[in-house]
Structure 1
Amino acid sequence: MLRRLYDRVLALAGSPRAPWWLAAMAFAEASFFPIPPDALLIPMAIARPDRAWRFAALCTVGSVAGGALGYFIGYALFNEIAAPLLRAYGYTAALARFQAMYAQYGLWVILIKGLTPIPYKIVTIASGAARFDFPLFMVA
């Protein structure tokens, strides 16, 4: 099974549409998809070292755009889905504490996340759910 996936990724990395797939994977991974774009970025950069920085920039742009989508998923769906559940189970005070702490330390959470294996999508969705300042989120 892994061999088949490996072969598909290598074939995709050599495709003329690989840069578009890379941007799409980075976008999706930052908001909802579980597979990191590195699986495609690394073989593309090895195959075309002269374009490695271009591929990395494309991956970054896709990831930032996907992060914005993840933020809005947390922002829009939190009140519709998660907040009623938290209220039903009596966690209203805990939710208020979480949002207050995220307002105070959210920037550090976002910045330090890059040094940890915590999936980026968790931070993007949590930032939206906590109503963290969106322009500051995008800069971080």
Structure 2
Amino acid sequence: MNGTTLQTFAAECAEELPGARLEHPFGPDQEVFEVRGKVFMPMTSVPGKPVVILKSEPGEAEALRETHADVSHGYHMNKKHWITLEAGTSIDEKLVEELGTESCRLAVGDLPRSNQPVDPETYGTRARAARR
């Protein structure tokens, strides 16, 4: 998966998530997907390489960085809770979709229950279970 394909596919997945919106709070070169004002997927270029930045549980983020050469600490984000995906052979569409859904779920979990477009405890779990 090349960089443009990575960002395009990640954006397509994000657009399907409940309550997700594309914003440009930092200018036209940085696309940011938010849900109810909470950022869950910024996309930018890190010296010229397109990347996707996602929220992740700290333990999961560490495991992903250890097992995928194309996953690193979150660029300009909290290094414990965010990861950066770069295009490469260790990243596939299924992983991008799962990580994007998880990032959105984590962002929604930070919202008051009345503002959550989905239940963060169950959202995405049935879809993942069906694919296994």
TM-score exceeds 0.5:
no
Structure index of larger Rg: 1
The structure with more strand, counted as a fraction of residues: 2
Q: TM-score, normalised by structure 2?
A: 0.26
Q: TM-score, normalised by structure 1?
A: 0.25
Q: Which has the higher contact order (CA 8 A, sep 6+)?
A: 1
The structure with more helix, counted as a fraction of residues: 1
